[in-house]
Structure 1
Amino acid sequence: MNNNSQNGQMTLTRGDLLLHRLFEACVDVNPERIAAVSNKEESTYSEINRKANALANYLRNDFELGRNQTVALITEKSERMLVGMMAILKAGGAYVSIDPKYPKSLVDYILKDAQADILLVDSQFIHLIRGYEGRVCLVDIELDSLEDHPENLKVVNEPDDLAYIIYTSGTTGQRKGVAIAHEAILNTLQWRVKYYNFSESDVTLQIPSYSFDSSVADIFTTLISGGKLILPDEQLKTDPEYFNNQLKTYGVSNFLITPTFYQRLLPWLDKDQDSLRFITIAGERLTKELVKKHYEKFPEIELINEYGPSENSVCSTAKRLSATDSQVTIGKPIDGTSLWILNEKLEPVEGSEVGEIYLGGKGLAQGYFGKESLTASKFISHPGHPDQRIYKTGDLGKFVDEGEVEFMGRADNQVKIRGYRIEPDEITAKLLTMPEVKDAAVIAISDANDQPILVAFYSLKDDTEEAQLREFLNAELPDYMVPSHFVALDNMPLNHNGKLDTVALETAYAAKSENQSGKELKQMNEVERVLANIWNETLQVNGVDLDDNFFEIGGDSLKSIDIGARIYTELGISIPGVELYNYPTVAQLSEYLMKKMELQPQPSSD
């Protein structure tokens, strides 16, 4: 790898097409630039590189980490996260990101499925790995004691070696690991650098969890461009006031966000954003209304729509949107990517007919780690070019003006909720493992804002309470996969073909919501009544009571933004959305608000 000392441009050879090599090139160009800010602590490129070298040397020599070997990573979103990722790559391995918010059962599954015999973990998360039989490095404790290793390690990888594994939802009840090689993700990253004109002056607010594939895009696009990465507090990042403060304090130039989150955040953002030059929308379908609202507020800030599954290295198509677009599309394929829309016979559709989207090119994953048959069913030979491998996305689309693609939804029942890819069948399969559950079905239903929510329907063999079902799923699945609502039925309804009658399920859900309004509620004071009404309307439920838990009746981190907005409008009090985690019931939140209002609790009235 050669650096042009006048402009920092790099001349790349094939051997340089490795994630850590491009990061090392940025270190060589400007070692003292700030690479990351976490908890107000700044880390330079040279500091991260030096620590990553020391840890990589330790992994290679003491842990005998070999080429293509998987290493799990469970840390806070911090400098250690970046050091861990880089160290694993430098040593020759592939990192497996595990969100510390995952339940232990899911952590156990991923560690086993990914064959991760080495684990880097913050000591505060040691409870998640009880029973793990691999080798463990307590990275927050051991990192500072490692022998300094200023020189970059000898490269042992080839570009087609494994770089990372990202786990996504699966229909069988078990998650599947998408295995991505260095050259595959670098096709996306190098395109992003060029498309967005990324440079060392860019500052990225890094929002997605590092176990979510979009994180790979914004973390590494920034760090191979010499830019600065802002790692926000995970508990506060959905709080609008905190978000605004991050943008202003650090002069953020860009961030990647889901449409659902951005729609809630947009009204709260300050209009004068001097440093912000573009916002990337990804993970869910984008509406024309949101595009319009964006450009009404920020006419000078670009809005870009990215589309792509994990199986094609995060991004496959992109579209620069404008206020005058007659429709929202996902654009055209990025460099190095091919896209086809085929019918059920694997023939190209004619004109603007709807078909399934297939992807090919440099960004394709190696497949699903350790799952050869599943890989073979999803990564197939192109019907017209048997030597060309393509991925069956399950997404529907059609060609529109100038060869752009309009996303038309799913061919199956997979859904995107808060940007996460979810197979409802995986949740159903988990419920059916409970001995008390006779039958179950989980489907996505659109709420009043046309956003999908998960609803679980179940029939029982005994008198198990709904709370027990929720508790079980909380222990087995990530929080975003736990249904918002549960509906008890005597039996699952079937249509005349003997298949699950989803229309009847939706009717049962509507009936439960309506019946909820008829329950006898506890007496409330004025503030409690206002809060209960806000929850009823925001969550589209009826009969919210004093002791109902916000997160057990359909609430989540994004809906907490809506709650905060309504509280400010109706009570004149500004509260961070994170407070709902501290005061999750109407009674608790009311007491907290009245203290802020310097009021004493009022006697209950009829």
Structure 2
Amino acid sequence: MQGHDINPRVLHGGFLLAAQAHPQRPALEVDGQAVTYAQLRERVLAIAVGLMRHRSGEGPPLTAALVHRSVAGFAGILGALCSGHGYVPMLPSLPPARIVLMLHRSNARSLVVDAAGQRVLDEVLDGVTHSLLVVLSEGEASEQLRARHPRHTLIGLAELASLGANDWTPPPVGDDDIAYLLFTSGSTGEPKGVMVAHRNIARFLDVVVDRYSLRETDRFSHLFEITFDLSLFDMFAAWKVGACLCVPDVKQRLLPNQFVVDSRLTVWFSVPSAALLMKQMRVLTPGVFANLRLVLFCGEALPVGLAQAFAEAAPDAILENIYGPTELTLACTHYRWTSASLAECENEVVPIGDPFAGMQVKVVNEDLIDVAPGETGELLMSGPQRALGYWNDPERTAAAFMVPPGETELFYRTGDRVRRPLPGAPMTFLGRVDSQIKLNGYRVELGEIEAVMQREAGVDAGVVLGWPKTPAGASGVIGFVVAADLDTNGVLDRMQDQLPRYMVPRGIRVLDAFPLNQNGKIDRKALMAVLEAEDAAELG
């Protein structure tokens, strides 16, 4: 790789430059084992060369990554990027049918797989209708595996071992090329793919590195699954500055307070739910996290009590609540918690604050007209972090990315209800204006769950509600249908084959009829009131 000009504006450029500057510094700690930048780079570039040499040339410049948070998984993601492709993350724990659906939707013709992904590889390859180049980032492509899947080209470690950094040359990658394609919940019963360009994520990384003075001595937590866009902060902000990404093992995930201490973390980033566990365990004692210098929360509303407790536990840390949908590249507003913050909170939730540098904000009514300061409306945002749109879905893109009256640039409609701040005050988050909810930190379209439930139950209408409620959103969902002699357990079993585990209802209630509001529509509030009344009765 020596002598190559590395473009710092592409997503993988920061890692490659850090590997040049800090080859012997740890890039990763997984299962207690440190992996240096030099060691990781060798694996990454071997995968990149394998992809570049064996591709058919068909399909879009996208490589799927069916990996977990393993050394081989991270190498696969970076290898896909270094081969000139954007990556499409897919969790091995998803139902194989869901993985196949995303492969078909993305039309990716190459796939990187670690050991966790190999456990479902047979089912995935059986279901995919187009040929794939499959690179095993650990393990071998056995003759039996090749014989079972003759339509696909498989490459294992033995072939990758003969390749390395000296065989790699940087492929051309433009600022507007896709860095990653992330599938999120869609209201039509199928996931939608958000296209994020290299220039979008490069701008985000520049902002956070500068704002938080990130440096090579930092040690980052990594609690997010790779399909959660917040994982990109952990990975690529750390690797941009030559820092270490610390991945908790199973025990540390159950005892996250011990993970902070044992891993000597300096940067903590999570959804509030992860920290709420520590608060419920009563381990957020004053001063317990003395090593932390930066604490970030995102993905859900941040309860005031949690912010207070964590600030006391990490007294020397900056604590910020950051906000942003996937379509605006991870996060695009920030609010710093201080001793004066209590007076600025609304509904016991920490504000989302002010926009990142270069981002523009509008708060509008139903006619997309600006509301007055102090009034509530839908949040619209624009700027260099605004994503490209939805993959192969111009209709959805046009609906979500639009030019409001009086503006000349595209704004993204977040669907979030906020209060437009008065002068000198922060922006506050008040909830969703549609049927999306935050479910254990994941943004979920209830309509997608409803579509699958209706199909499997053979009914024309169904309602799914977030329940039970938590301070940060909901911890599960409950379904409602009108049907006769319905095998609800069978419906749930079939839904598990199509949806991530956290999206499968905890139960389905069969009603004689749906309650209707004055407009003749299904009254979701009435159904929620039933759940709340039952909960109150149990507590009483």
TM-score, normalised on structure 2? 0.87
2:153 aligns to what?
Answer: none
- Counterpart of 1:140, as a letter, is E
Task: Say which of 395, 406, 419 aligns to 2:416.
Answer: 395
Q: 1:195 maps to which residue?
A: 211
Equivalent position to 1:183, from 173, 195, 199: 199
CA contact (8 A) 2:183 2:194 kept: yes
| Contact 1:66–1:91, Cα closer than 8 Å, also in 2 | no
Name the structure 2 match of 1:315: 331
User: What is the SS of the residue equivalent to 1:504?
Assistant: helix
1:290 aligns with 2:286: no
Against the structure 1 CA distance between its residues 67 and 220, is the aligned structure 2 distance closer, same or farther, given a 3 Å change threshold? farther
Change (3 A) 1:450 1:97: closer
1:254 aligns with 2:250: no
C-alpha deviation, 1:186, in angstroms: 0.9
Q: Does 1:409 align with 2:423?
A: no
Paired letter, 1:294: F
CA distance in 2, matches of 1:113, 1:225: 34
2:13 match: 21
Q: Which residue of 1 aligns with 2:176?
A: 160
Question: Partner of 2:70 in structure 1?
Answer: 78
Contact 1:292 1:323 in 2 (8 A): no
Counterpart in the other structure of 2:121: 126
1:18-46: CA deviations, max 9, x gaps? 11122111111111111001122221111
Once residues 237 and 367 of structure 1 are traced to their aligned partners in structure 2, the CA distance between those partners, rounded to angstroms, is 37
Output one character per residue of 1:60-109: Cα deviation in whole Å (capped at 9) or x when no partner: 11124689611111112111122111111111111000011111221111
Q: Residues 264-284 of structure 1, C-alpha deviation per residue, up to 9 Å, x if partnerless? A: 213225643232112111001
The one-character-per-residue Cα deviations of 1:503-545 (angstroms, maximum 9, x if unpaired) are 3313443576689x8xxxxxxxxxxxxxxxxxxxxxx7x9xxx
AA aligned opposite 2:277: R
Amino acid at match of 2:482: S
Question: Within 5 Å, which residues of 2 pair with 1:475-494?
Answer: 475-494=497-516
Please point out which of 139, 149, 163 is paired with 1:148. Answer: 163
Equivalent residue for 1:103, pick from 95, 103, 108: 95
Given the alignment, which residue of 462, 469, 478 partners 1:455?
478
Matching residue of 2:351: 329
Q: Deviations over 1:413-444 (max 9, x none)?
A: 21112110011111111011125446421122
Residue by residue, what CA displacement relative to the aligned partner does 1:99-147 show, whole Å, maximum 9, x if unpaired?
A: 1111122111111111111111132231441322422222212235412
| Contact 2:63/2:110, CA 8 A, preserved across alignment | yes
1:2 is displaced (CA, Å) by 13
Relative distance call for 1:43 and 1:509 in structure 2 (3 A) is same
Number of the residue aligned with 2:383: 361
Q: 1:299 aligns with which of 307, 315, 327?
A: 315
Q: Which segments of 5 or more consecutive residues in structure 1 lack a partner in the other structure? A: 4-11, 518-539, 543-606
Residue equivalent to 2:35 = 43
On the 8 A contact 2:60/2:108 being kept in 1, the answer is: no
Equivalent-residue separation in structure 1 for 2:486 and 2:67 (angstroms): 40
Structure 1 runs, 4 residues or longer, greater than 6 Å off:
511-515
Change (3 A) 1:128 1:97: farther
Q: What amino acid is the match of 2:527?
A: L
Per the alignment, in what secondary structure is the counterpart of residue 50 of structure 2? helix
Q: TM-score, normalized by length of structure 1?
A: 0.78
Q: Deviations over 1:549-600 (max 9, x none)?
A: xxxxxxxxxxxxxxxxxxxxxxxxxxxxxxxxxxxxxxxxxxxxxxxxxxxx
CA distance in 1, matches of 2:68, 2:309: 34
3-state SS, counterpart of residue 434 of structure 1: helix
Tell whether the 8 Å contact from 1:255 to 1:279 is kept in structure 2 after alignment: yes
What RMSD over aligned residues (CA atoms) do the two structures have, in Å? 2.5
SS of the residue 1:19 aligns to: coil
8 Å Cα contact 1:493-1:505 kept in structure 2: yes
- Work out which structure has the larger RCO, using CA pairs closer than 8 Å and 6 or more positions apart in sequence: 2
Q: CA deviation at 1:180?
A: 0.5
Shift of 1:149: 2.0
- Verify the 8 A CA contact 1:68 1:161 in the aligned structure 2: no
C-alpha distance in 2, partners of 1:308/1:229?
A: 22
Q: Are 1:59 and 2:81 an aligned pair?
A: no
Q: Is the 8 A contact 1:187 1:335 kept in 2?
A: no
Instruction: Give, as a single letter, the amino acid of the residue that structure 2 aligns with 1:357.
Output: L
> Percent identity at matched positions?
28
Offset of 1:293 from its aligned partner? 2.1
1:340-351 equivalences under 5 Å are: 340-351=362-373
Counterpart contact for 2:440–2:473, Cα < 8 Å: no
Relative to structure 1, is the Cα distance of residues 17 and 411 closer, same or farther in structure 2, using a 3 angstrom cutoff?
same
Matches within 5 A, 1:549-568: none
1:252 partner letter: L
Change (3 A) 1:495 1:347: closer
Matched, 1:371 2:393: yes
Gaps of 5+ in 2: 140-155
Partner of 2:142: none
CA distance in 1, matches of 2:393, 2:252: 35
Structure number with greater Rg is 1
The whole-number CA distance in structure 2 between the counterparts of 1:49 and 1:344 is 50
Query: 1:251–1:65: structure 2 CA closer, same or farther, 3 Å change rule?
Result: farther
Does structure 2 retain, via aligned residues, the 8 Å contact 1:71–1:119? yes
1:218 Cα deviation after fit: 1.4
